[in-house]
Amino acid sequence: MKLRVFAIVWSLCVACSVQPTWSYQEVTVTNGGTIQGHVTIEGGRPRPMAFNLVTIPDPVFCGTISTGTGWRLVEDFIIGPDKGLKDVVVFLKDIKKGKPFKTPKVRIESKDCDFLPFVNVLKDRDKIEVVNMDPVQHDIQGYETARKRGARVLFNRPLPMNPLLEYAGLFGKKYMAGEPMVESIHLKKGRNVFVMQCGFHPYMFSWGLVVKNPYFSITKEDGKFEIDNVPPGDYILSAWHAGMKSFLEQQVTVMPKNSFSANFEYQTPQGRRSTHEIEKNPRFGLELLGEDVEIIPSIRVQEP
Span of 12-21, 62-71, 120-129, 132-141 with lowest mean pLDDT = 12-21
pLDDT for 147: 61
CA distance 220 to 86: 5
Per-residue confidence band for 12, with pLDDT thresholds at 50, 70 and 90: very low
Closest CA to 230 of 22, 23, 29: 29
- Max avg pLDDT among 4-18, 153-167, 201-215, 271-285: 201-215
What is the domain extent for residue 188? 2-301
pLDDT for 2: 46
pLDDT surpassing 50 at residue 234: yes
Per-residue CA distances from 275 to 10, 142, 223 (Å): 12, 21, 28
Per the structure, how many domains does the chain have?
Answer: 1
pLDDT for 291: 67
